[in-house]
Chain A
Amino acid sequence: MNKKVLFLALSSTILAFSFFSSSCRRINKDSSGVEYMPDMYRSPSYEDNSYNPLFADSMTDRAPVKGTVPVGFTPFPFPNTPEGLANASQYWKDPFPATPEIEAQGKAIYSIYCIHCHGPSGMGDGKVAAKLPGPPPPYSDKAHRDFTEGEIYYILEYGRNMMGSHAGQLSVDQRCKLIRYVQTLQKIGQTSDTAKTVAAAPAPTK
């Protein structure tokens, strides 16, 4: 009897101990586990998005030095001012032609960067738009369907109202292709659009 109890006790101890030791990582979920030669993983060089004590803002990612331009990059020449907007909408021209191929590429970009707010056809009925205080206006309504390619680029560059700048996410080429697709959405249902959007809009919640 005693032997049996002792045997049981001992074996359970061993089992428990081995189980415990094998699952060290699970105990502290903020630990990534055991590392062999951690200097291979936590390198002395600073990596993208990593913490950096050398800069006051503690970020490794730096903005380009003021006044410098990356090779092959043309900065947007129009400043974020009313005059800049007027000049941009008049003089900025999309280098890509409005071909179905470019528009299809633009649509692919649209479905990543725009669709969740502006909706699948630019009517302002995206999934996120329902959570915003108000939906973005349809591209095809009277106030927006006449936006020139320059004005659309200007908005992508600097943002407007609730929409922030997307210059950091979209490359210049992506923006140009995107504009060609947005222009097709501006043409949707150009007659009596107000009545349509009003009917399509959900009832006001507040």
Chain B
Amino acid sequence: MNKLITKLQKSLAAFFAFVFTLITISTTYAQAPTAAAIAEGGKIFHAKCATCHSLGTNKITGPGLQGVGDRVTAPAADWMFKWVKNNNALRKSGDAYANKVYADNGNVAMTVFEGDLTDDQVKNVVAFVLNPPKEDDVVAKGPEGPTKKADNDEHPGWILLLIIAVLFIIVVVLRTVRRSLLAVTNQKQGLPAPEDIGLWKDTLKWIKTHKTHFVVINIFLVVCFLVYGWQYLWGIDVTTGYKPSQPINFRHDVHAGQNGIACIYCHSGAEKGKVAGIPTLNVCMNCHKGIQGSTPEYKTEIAKIYDAAGWDPQNMVYNKPSHPIKWNRIHNLPDFAYFNHSQHVTVGKLDCKNCHGDCTTYTTNEQFAPLTMGWCIDCHRGTQVQMAGNGYYAKLHESLMKQDSSRTITEADMGGLECGKCHY
């Protein structure tokens, strides 16, 4: 009897195990994919498909995939499997919808994934696209770093004007108070009231009676005038720290700092020619075709690029008139001084930071170096020429080293102080 029960138990267990495996297998291959398959598909989607497809309605390179299951030929999973695996073959087989999608997207062919992804992987991707994560499951990407407010180190001038006005009023009021008090004391002592001689004569009278004070004030005034006057004169045409507002709040700290984009990527003229160049809009669009901004502030600023370039971010086409952006120039050398970027960057192998400061920290770009002649000369005198592996001026380097191999060669030794090098 006991034996029978154990046997029964065993066979029952085997039966249930069989049913269970059957259910598992059928769910794997039937319409409802497992959560694991969807998650796996999500990973592949992000690595392989997200370059061109969003899960929303917006087009990137290919169409947005929201509601794609309702658009394509039913059954959706089968059609999409064929499409993802080899869309080329599907189109050639004469599938009407496949050819329509191809035509609707400007005859841009999608990558063929046959051989790259296994059948199971393609199935998982399709499962993920048909069961995308719900909006509230998605953790919104936070803004990249804190949005720094433009630093406001400029003190408003009207406060100073106000202080001066208030001080003048105090002087006038105090003088009136003093006069009326004097009148009252004089009246008590039976003396005649002081005559009103006016502010100017009163000041002159005060100067006569307070010679020491007058001299001290004058010395103070002259010293102030000399010190500030001197500084003021030396500041003419020197625009260090010039930091004008720009039509787009472009942030070097985000682009060069956080994103680590090389200076020369955008200012590619720096290694090729005279000017480093303000990048044209197509350079902005190399990245901003895809990056539309993660915060409302960024979105507003990036929308200005789209507006200028005539780009429609919804349909991913240039379909509007374009116009250049009027950036405000910061670094400006006078016409009589010649400066060439490539000679300093490519030949001299100088780092951009030498003259432009650490742009990776600038929220608004500013002038770092004074760009005066003394500043140029100082560097030409003091900086050692990098001669190793430098094909430029190799002969000159060689002959200079022949003269005296012990000393360091600076730009000044190579004629970097000649007037005609920069002024001609």
User: Which residues of A line the B interface, CB within 8 A?
Assistant: 2-3, 5-7, 9-27, 29-36, 40-41, 43, 45, 48-51, 57-59, 111-113, 115-117, 124, 127-128, 131-137, 141-143, 161-166, 168-171, 194, 197-206
Contacts and interface: CB of A to CB of B under 8 A. Distances in A.
A17 B225 CA distance: 10
Contacts of A21: 228, 232
B295 to A, nearest CB: 12
B87 interface: no
Contacts of A25: 235, 242
A15 B44 CA distance: 69
23 contacts: A2-B178, A16-B163, A18-B228, A29-B243, A32-B242, A32-B332, A34-B232, A41-B332, A49-B327, A112-B265, A116-B259, A116-B260, A116-B265, A128-B259, A132-B291, A133-B290, A134-B60, A135-B46, A141-B116, A161-B61, A165-B282, A168-B283, A169-B283
B138 A197 contact: no
B323 interface: yes
Given A33-B236, A135-B51, A164-B289, A27 B282 contact: no
B47 A30 contact: no
Contact of A206 (B55, B206, B258, B280): B55
Given A41-B237, A194-B117, A203-B42, A133 B167 contact: no
Contacts of B174: 2, 5-6, 9
B217 to A, nearest CB: 6
B22 interface: no
B161 interface: yes
Interface in B29-45: 42-45
Interface in B323-339: 323-324, 326-329, 332, 334-336
Given A11-B217, A33-B235, 20 more contacts: A2-B178, A13-B164, A17-B160, A22-B231, A24-B157, A30-B244, A34-B236, A49-B329, A59-B324, A112-B262, A116-B261, A117-B287, A124-B47, A131-B144, A141-B116, A143-B113, A161-B108, A168-B280, A201-B47, A204-B50
Contacts of A134: 46, 49-53, 60
B3 interface: no
Contacts of A165: 282
Interface in B212-271: 213, 217, 220-221, 224-225, 228, 231-232, 235-239, 242-245, 258-262, 264-265, 268
Nearest to B216: A7
Interface string B147-181: 00000011111001101100110110010001000
Contacts of B324: 57-59
Given A18-B224, A32-B242, A128 B336 contact: no
A9 B170 contact: yes
Contacts of B232: 21-22, 34
Interface of B: 42-56, 60-61, 108, 111-113, 115-118, 121, 133, 138-139, 141, 144, 153-157, 160-161, 163-164, 167-168, 170-171, 174, 178, 206, 210, 213, 217, 220-221, 224-225, 228, 231-232, 235-239, 242-245, 258-262, 264-265, 268, 272, 274-275, 277-278, 280, 282-283, 285-287, 289-291, 294, 323-324, 326-329, 332, 334-336
A166 B286 contact: yes
* SS of B interface (majority): loop
Nearest to B225: A18
Contacts of B268: 113, 168-170
A32 B244 contact: yes
Q: Which 5 A-B pairs have the closest CB atoms?
A: A134-B50, A201-B47, A142-B116, A134-B51, A161-B61
A89 to B, nearest CB: 14
A34 B237 contact: yes
A162 B192 CA distance: 94
Nearest to B210: A3
Given A22-B231, A27-B154, A116-B259, A203 B334 contact: no
A131 B291 contact: yes
Nearest to B48: A137
B206 A6 contact: yes
Contacts of B235: 25, 33-34
A16 B42 CA distance: 66
Given A6-B206, A58-B324, A33 B242 contact: yes
Nearest to B128: A204
B50 A135 contact: yes
A36 B237 contact: yes
Nearest to A137: B51
Given A14-B221, A35-B237, A202 B46 contact: yes
Given A116-B261, A162-B52, A9 B228 contact: no
Contacts of B245: 29-30
